[in-house]
Amino acid sequence: MNYKISFQERAQLARKALSVQQPVTLQQARMQVEKLNQMSSQKNKKQRN
């Protein structure tokens, strides 16, 4: 990974990566939120020492 990259270059690379992704529908986003909510319930969280 090139660590000597400007913010503008990084933004251009991010826009390029986002442009090739498939668009997400509202229904898909809701399903993803529901799945994440189920996975992150209180009883599943790890105890911190």
For 25-45, how does the pLDDT look when each residue is reduced to its tens digit (9 = 90+)? 999 999 999 998 888 876 655
Q: 5: Cβ–Cβ under 8 A, 6 or more apart, which residues? A: 13
* Average pLDDT value for the chain: 85
Q: Under the phi-then-psi rule, with left for phi > 0, alpha for psi from -120 to 50, and beta for the rest, what region is 27?
A: alpha
What's this model's pTM, rounded to 2 decimal places?
0.47
